[in-house]
Amino acid sequence: MSTKTSFKRIALVAASALALGGFSVISAPQASALTGGTQATAISVSNESLGAGGTTLTASQYTTSKVVSTKGISAISATVGDTITLAVTAVGGAFGSTDTIKVVNRGYGNLVNATAVGAGIASGSNETVTAFTVPAVAGTYTLDITYYNDGASSPTTDLSTSVTLTVAAASTYSNSYSTALIASGVTAPTTTTNALAVSATKTMSALAAGNILVSIKDTTNTALDDASTISATISGSGYIAWDSASGGSPCLATPTYSALIGRSITAQAMDASGTLYVCSDNTSGTGTITISVTDAASVTSTLATKTVTFYGAVASMSVFAKNFTIGKSGGGSATSATGAATSDTITYMPAFVIAQKDSSGQLATGATPAFVITGQTVVASGVCAQDNDATYGTGATGYFGCSFTTSSAAKSGDKVTITLRITDPADSTKYLTTTVDLTVGGSVAKEVISFDKPSYSAGEAMQVTITATDSSGNPVSDGRTSPALTGSKATGGSLPAASYYVAGKKATTAGALWAPAIGGDFTVVGTGTDTAATALSATASIEGDQSSSLALDAANAATDAANNAYDEAQNATQAASDALSAVTALAAQVDTLIASVKKLTAAVAKLSKKK
């Protein structure tokens, strides 16, 4: 535990008063054992710091009394675990070398036994110091401070005062605010380094593979000095070492394991922060470090888990990634939108990345690969550098970013296989090698926009590609500018913006573009990057969306219904016409019958008369 934790002091000063409650005062000076002096007429508690390691109280920690002394106080605020230092002042007189002071926590018991004062105090200082630890339970207490002349209790010489002591609960550990940040070697850890992979050679030495800064905080996100302890274990490769003072790497080439160094560290005292170092142990692989904190209440929490990778000598090399492999005809670098170079520049993407591994297949960093240029005229030069750039490369141990420049004699369609090599760590007369195939392309002569399908349903994923070829019909060199495209209808996602070609193509990312919601033809256009700035276009068909189909179906159904209604009406009209014709014919027949009946009636009448 640090001096800060062991000697948390709160320096207090008393306010004494002749007339305020809580102070006992002798109205007339009394004789004192201090030669040539007079006994004090009152005592006060001062906010001056007198004890070793003490610190003056801040205004928020005490209440000032308005009598006798501007330094006098009537109340104190402290925290469980604090050590209080009382500075008692003789007012109107002086303390003697045989005088004593006693502090009693009213209703709680003695906090400090009667203590001789005056001895060793310079004449005229009239102050003494006594210290005690505040109660372990939060609450409000009353401290009675009594002065005894010559160490004897006497109603006529005793002087006393009282101070209210308010004790707050101690700060508690917060696992969410506490942190464990890692960095390579002995670099000071930050949130930035914490996001990067840490790796180191497996060879044991005094150099640390990595270090983890452990900081413990309370529930207010404030550094916590309490009785917390740290424990840690490592599984896999490596060992760990604890340094509470963060004074430098404790790793050793020939370590002797102890409580502070080994495969586990148990219950080491924490004082706000400390550093856990990770060391090599001659084995390759991953070391997993688990860190836990046990707080003052004996509650253990797992704070963090970190990993460090240890590797042996490089035993193999291979091509890990190919970003740009078509160089420029007539000479130059294969470039990205910002250029291509080794990734350690943190500015450019490497043309390709080489991976190195040890005999166990673990990524390992060895010598920088060199280009073998002899025997060919396509590539003029090439360079590699360790890949430390996570933005444009891999940012991990074991990788090297490489770039190349074609020769002035290189022409479109040329091909070459380049060898990269390093001296074999296991045999200096041999090399470890790998190869990469490179080609050459020219400038943009023709560009074509294409869709991955001739037609799409509304909202369907689609891909748009621009293909660029040079005057020889070969893919253009990597890094040539590609145009921006726009569409005749709104799409989901975005069409390609102005960028650059790789392998002669620029395409939308799969799943990043969706067909328009409106049916019909969809046309994509752009202005070519060839010398003539040729207008580019391509069209795909978009089927109407479901709502459009439903609307069409409804319209068709309505038309059918109208047609059916018309047919019914026509049928009804015909039926009515037929009925009218029938009635007309029947009426004619009735008229004929009536006429016949009339004739018959007349004939009958004539016959009757003849008789």
Nearest Cα residue to 350 out of 410, 411, 391: 391
Cα dihedral sign, 295-298-301-303 = positive
- Residue showing tokens 């070829």: 469
Nearest Cα residue to 480 out of 383, 340, 322, 321: 340
The confidence score (pLDDT) of residue 51 equals 32
| pLDDT, tens digit (0-9, with 9 covering 90-100), for 525-581 | 999 999 999 999 999 999 965 555 555 566 567 777 767 877 777 777 777 677 677
The confidence score (pLDDT) of residue 18 equals 24
Q: Using an 8 Å Cβ cutoff, are 152 and 196 in contact?
A: no
The confidence score (pLDDT) of residue 57 equals 64
**CA atoms of 318 and 356, how far apart (whole Å):** 7
The confidence score (pLDDT) of residue 417 equals 96
Nearest Cα residue to 238 out of 252, 220, 227: 252
Q: Using an 8 Å Cβ cutoff, are 495 and 486 in contact?
A: yes
The confidence score (pLDDT) of residue 17 equals 27
**CA atoms of 366 and 425, how far apart (whole Å):** 8
The confidence score (pLDDT) of residue 340 equals 53
Q: Using an 8 Å Cβ cutoff, are 500 and 355 in contact?
A: no
429 CB-near residues (< 8 Å, 6+ apart): none
The confidence score (pLDDT) of residue 65 equals 63
Rg from Cα positions in the chain: 49
> Which DSSP symbol is given to 187?
P
Do 3-168 and 446-546 share a fold?
A: yes
**Bridge partners (DSSP) listed for residue 128:** 88
**CA atoms of 392 and 352, how far apart (whole Å):** 11
Give, in degrees to the nearest 5, the angle at Cα 248 between 245 and 249: 120
Q: Using an 8 Å Cβ cutoff, are 311 and 359 in contact?
A: no
Q: What is the CATH number of domain 173-311?
A: 2.60.40.10
Q: Please give the model's pTM, rounded to 2 decimal places.
A: 0.62
Q: Average pLDDT per run of 10 along the chain, which is 611 residues long?
A: 37 30 31 48 58 57 58 78 75 76 73 49 50 80 84 83 85 93 94 91 95 94 87 97 80 93 93 93 95 92 96 95 92 60 58 92 92 91 83 78 92 96 96 96 97 95 97 95 95 93 93 93 97 97 68 66 74 72 73 76 70 55
The confidence score (pLDDT) of residue 490 equals 95
Q: Which fold has domain 446-546?
A: Immunoglobulin-like (2.60.40)
Q: Using an 8 Å Cβ cutoff, are 485 and 522 in contact?
A: no
The confidence score (pLDDT) of residue 34 equals 39
Q: Which CATH class is domain 3-168?
A: mainly beta
Amino acid residing at 285: G
Domain spans of the chain, in order of start: 3-168, 173-311, 314-441, 446-546
Q: What is the CATH number of domain 314-441?
A: 2.60.40
**Bridge partners (DSSP) listed for residue 217:** 174, 223
| pLDDT, tens digit (0-9, with 9 covering 90-100), for 351-391 | 999 999 999 898 998 999 999 998 899 999 999 988 877 67
Assign 3-state DSSP to the chain and report helix, strand, coil percentages, each to 5.
15, 45, 40
